[in-house]
């Protein structure tokens, strides 16, 4: 059984068709990198998986549970609100802009949802949160407000915050794109550690080094469709698709 199944996902913004039938299956412990030029729909696709965007066609199955499906009349039907939220929350998400809660300290950011959404005992959650902060190397920043942290530190806190929910899978939406080059390393290292722990991950990224070394599979998207998909070696060493060849030429120069 796949952890994430996306069948023929279609998404329109008004008249514009952004996703024209995307398929993806992710197995347990697999790291999939999604690459492609801006405007290719890769972020939108990722956001469809956890209902940040609603789809206009197709089927999404998360961990064996149907999040959304298209009926015979062509209408997309989502699981009821409570169910769909529960299903979507099996995936933690990390954003390009971090989106930490600025009015809460680092520790408060981590424990907010486990305590108030999952209703787990605060003492237990705090202990786990501290372990997570230690893992991302920011335990000493536990009582600091996010604005006092560098971008790289904020993103590591954001990763820890997502992990505090004990998700089965993690979605990364260009996690290093708004960081200064010298700060991307620390975030990528955290993600690499996560991959080594066999976390199931879908990573939309411009970091070709990460896609090449950490991902088990790479998906190249352009113009709302998957142009080519394969192992990092197939994608980076022997690209067959013309769009992919052109894309690699521009960014690897």
Q: Which chain residues interact with other proteins by CB under 8 A?
A: 50-52, 85-86, 88-89, 91-93, 95, 97-104, 112-113, 116-118, 145-147, 161-162, 165
Q: Which is nearer to other proteins, 116 or 127 (CB)?
A: 116
Q: Which is nearer to other proteins, 142 or 243 (CB)?
A: 142
Minimum distance from residue 72 beta carbon to other proteins (Å): 28
Radius of gyration for the chain, computed over Cα atoms and rounded to the nearest angstrom: 18
Q: Which is nearer to other proteins, 76 or 113 (CB)?
A: 113
Minimum distance from residue 230 beta carbon to other proteins (Å): 29
Q: Which is nearer to other proteins, 47 or 59 (CB)?
A: 47
Minimum distance from residue 145 beta carbon to other proteins (Å): 4
In whole angstroms, what is the distance from residue 211 CA to residue 221 CA? Answer: 14
In whole angstroms, what is the distance from residue 248 CA to residue 110 CA? Answer: 38
Minimum distance from residue 89 beta carbon to other proteins (Å): 4
Neighbouring residues of 211: CB distance < 8 A, sequence distance ≥ 6? 33, 35, 203, 205, 218, 232, 235, 236
In whole angstroms, what is the distance from residue 202 CA to residue 26 CA? Answer: 8
Q: Which is nearer to other proteins, 118 or 193 (CB)?
A: 118
| CB contact at 8 A, 31 and 219 | no
Helix-helix angle 151-163:181-196, to 10 degrees: 20
Minimum distance from residue 85 beta carbon to other proteins (Å): 6
In whole angstroms, what is the distance from residue 170 CA to residue 168 CA? Answer: 7
Q: Which is nearest to 138 in space by CA: 178, 109, 165?
A: 109
Q: Which is nearer to other proteins, 118 or 131 (CB)?
A: 118
Q: Which is nearer to other proteins, 103 or 127 (CB)?
A: 103
Minimum distance from residue 104 beta carbon to other proteins (Å): 8
212's enclosing H/E stretch is helix 208-213
| CB contact at 8 A, 19 and 7 | no
Minimum distance from residue 37 beta carbon to other proteins (Å): 23
Structural tokens at position 16? 């514009």
DSSP state of 156: H
């Amino acid at each position: 059984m796949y952890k994430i199944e996306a069948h023929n996902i279609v998404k329109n913004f008004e008249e514009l068709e952004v996703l024209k039938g995307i398929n993806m299956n992710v197995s347990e412990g697999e790291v999939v990198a999604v690459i492609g030029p801006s405007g290719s729909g890769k972020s939108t696709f990722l956001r469809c998986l956890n209902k940040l965007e609603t789809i206009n066609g197709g089927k999404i199955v998360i961990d064996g549970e149907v999040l959304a499906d298209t009926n015979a009349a062509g209408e997309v039907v989502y699981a009821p609100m409570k169910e769909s939220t529960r299903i979507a929350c099996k995936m933690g998400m990390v954003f390009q802009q971090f989106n930490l809660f600025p009015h809460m300290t680092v520790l408060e950011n981590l424990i907010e949802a486990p305590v108030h959404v999952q209703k787990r005992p605060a003492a237990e959650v705090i202990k786990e949160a501290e372990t997570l902060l230690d893992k991302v190397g920011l335990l000493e920043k536990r009582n600091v407000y996010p604005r006092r942290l560098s971008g790289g530190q904020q993103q590591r806190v954001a990763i820890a915050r997502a992990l505090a929910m004990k998700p089965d899978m993690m979605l990364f939406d260009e996690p290093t794109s708004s960081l200064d080059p010298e700060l991307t390393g620390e975030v990528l290292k955290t993600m690499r550690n996560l991959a080594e722990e066999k976390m199931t991950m879908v990573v939309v990224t411009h970091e070709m080094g990460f896609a090449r070394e950490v991902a088990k599979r790479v998906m190249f998207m352009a113009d709302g469709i998957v142009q080519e998909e394969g192992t990092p070696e197939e994608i980076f060493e022997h690209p067959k698709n013309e769009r992919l060849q052109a894309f690699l030429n521009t960014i690897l120069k």
